Structure 1
């Protein structure tokens, strides 16, 4: 059975639709459908069945998914052992990271590894934690930086392992002349009458904010959904919105914006994640060692 077809089946099992699986694999839905059809022909049995707009695995499909996951782990282990035997840290390493941790630690991590291993080519790509974990599981990246606010850590351990990198807290960003700017701390309840600017590219951020506000007894009024903090910061500086920002970003807030502690404190743990079969891959190991060391030096 061809490995690419097994990957298509794995993504379909995770995503539930041909369209979502295709997006995760950077393929068209028809290409994924064709791969599944070819896999069914090889297996000699139906692996999926239609349910409305979605797809459900048959018992045979569910059984094959279990084997496919084990095959992928073994292939990763084989690549890791071959890399160890070459005794060289070289080639391409793809890293997915969300903006606040990426800007805080990845440049120094990159520089240190480039100096130590000139034949190692690190390629960084910005993903939010959920997207990064999806990319890792579908072999589109080799490393993903994730956090436990966006991802239930129990779920993330199904096919990957994680190593702690840093801890961070969330703060409230307000205009420098805002009435709340002089307070030592604010609660979410204090912000009941504010409008919010959020970074919509972090898919978990809106849910976190909404859940916090609902616990305080109200629905947040969001007047700006921004692709990055540049627009959100401008809205805050102008007094049009408040925002929620990670502590990692406090040193780089734009002019006219200040921060206030959130009460009670909301913290998150940040991890570096890698696939289960690559725990002994030398390139993965040196990257993890260096990012943990860099984070400890810069953030500890």
Structure 2
């Protein structure tokens, strides 16, 4: 009989690529992971791994077994959800991952709603980059998480996860106005030429490797130029403060447009950012996850569209 815990380790190896990464994520030592995978190979009766020096890759049999492991782990999550639905009331800790903008604008209202509806639940929030959410969910460090992607920078699909669309925001080009002391202004309508008009302007771009940074670079490339990056900032309030100080222009999502500094002009672009709720495959019907999804939906600001936006032409 194949051991489920060892199947989980094999699945993580398929996702993470190295035994060291699996060990770090699952709170094992690398030698313990290697030992457990060796036991799994003996249980399977066929080689699951190919070892070349320090590198380990999965054999065709190993990859096939990972596919079956995904199904097995999904069914176990469904079983846990059914058992939870049979209990009276919701109680205990539930771990929620969020990115900064959603944590500031939607999560507080959602937590208030959750406390009123299910006072026995104990939500525990972790701010996490969306790139780390899939691994944290699979490892059991999170139960549900908010993630996002952008036009020109889609978040790759992750096996073993289920997602529910939450909302779609417009992306705005933020620039300094002629009067630095004037209240922030938001223009009406969509201006498809706003980005290309800033080809000679310094840009404030998110750090390398982030979806936001990738979106900005690719959006500028689609407009026919490479942005002249002056600052790399991930925090949108800091980004907007630098725009107000005349340090460059930036692309920012609609949820970040609160408490704007004076002297900023906002132009709506054809780009969008989409926010989704992610959980482990099979866990979507768990009553605690369903309660969080409902609370988050009630916290979406009026005017934001739910569901995906069309890709730019």
**TM-score, scaled to structure 1:** 0.85
After superposition, where does 1:124-139 map in structure 2 within 5 Å? 124-139=125-140
Please name the residue that 1:162 is paired with. 163
Q: Please state whether the residue corresponding to 2:15 is helix, strand or coil.
A: helix
Q: Quote the Cα distance in structure 1 between the aligned partners of 2:52 and 2:232.
A: 34
Please name the residue that 1:98 is paired with. 99
Q: Quote the Cα distance in structure 1 between the aligned partners of 2:271 and 2:282.
A: 33
Deviation string 1:231-270 (CA, Å, 9 cap, x unpaired) is: 43343232122221110111233x245242244x102332
Seen in structure 2, the aligned counterparts of structure 1 residues 90 and 297 have a Cα distance that, compared at 3 Å, is farther
Please state how far the C-alpha of 1:83 moved relative to its aligned partner: 0.9
Q: Any stretches of 5+ residues in structure 2 without a counterpart?
A: 306-313
Please name the residue that 1:111 is paired with. 112
Structure 1 contact 197–226 (Cα < 8 Å) conserved: yes
Equivalent pairs, count:
295
Please name the residue that 1:63 is paired with. 64
Q: Quote the Cα distance in structure 2 between the aligned partners of 1:215 and 1:7.
A: 41
Please name the residue that 1:239 is paired with. 246
Please state how far the C-alpha of 1:31 moved relative to its aligned partner: 4.8
Q: Quote the Cα distance in structure 2 between the aligned partners of 1:92 and 1:217.
A: 49
Please name the residue that 2:296 is paired with. 291
**Pairwise CA RMSD of aligned residues?**
2.9
Please name the residue that 1:86 is paired with. 87
Structure 1 contact 250–259 (Cα < 8 Å) conserved: no
Q: Are residue 281 (structure 1) and residue 281 (structure 2) matched?
A: no
Deviation string 1:165-196 (CA, Å, 9 cap, x unpaired) is: 111011122234489x9894552211112222
Of the three residues 201, 209, 216, the one matched with 2:216 is 209
Seen in structure 2, the aligned counterparts of structure 1 residues 20 and 222 have a Cα distance that, compared at 3 Å, is farther
Please name the residue that 1:270 is paired with. 275
Seen in structure 2, the aligned counterparts of structure 1 residues 220 and 72 have a Cα distance that, compared at 3 Å, is same
Richer in helix (by share): 1
Please state how far the C-alpha of 1:201 moved relative to its aligned partner: 8.3
Structure 1 contact 105–298 (Cα < 8 Å) conserved: no
Please state how far the C-alpha of 1:45 moved relative to its aligned partner: 3.3
Please name the residue that 1:248 is paired with. 255
Please name the residue that 1:261 is paired with. 267
Please name the residue that 1:228 is paired with. 235
Seen in structure 2, the aligned counterparts of structure 1 residues 295 and 262 have a Cα distance that, compared at 3 Å, is closer
Structure 1 contact 201–228 (Cα < 8 Å) conserved: no
Structure 2 contact 106–301 (Cα < 8 Å) conserved: no
Please state how far the C-alpha of 1:58 moved relative to its aligned partner: 0.5
Q: Any stretches of 5+ residues in structure 1 without a counterpart?
A: none
Q: Please state whether the residue corresponding to 1:251 is helix, strand or coil.
A: coil
**TM-score, scaled to structure 2:** 0.82
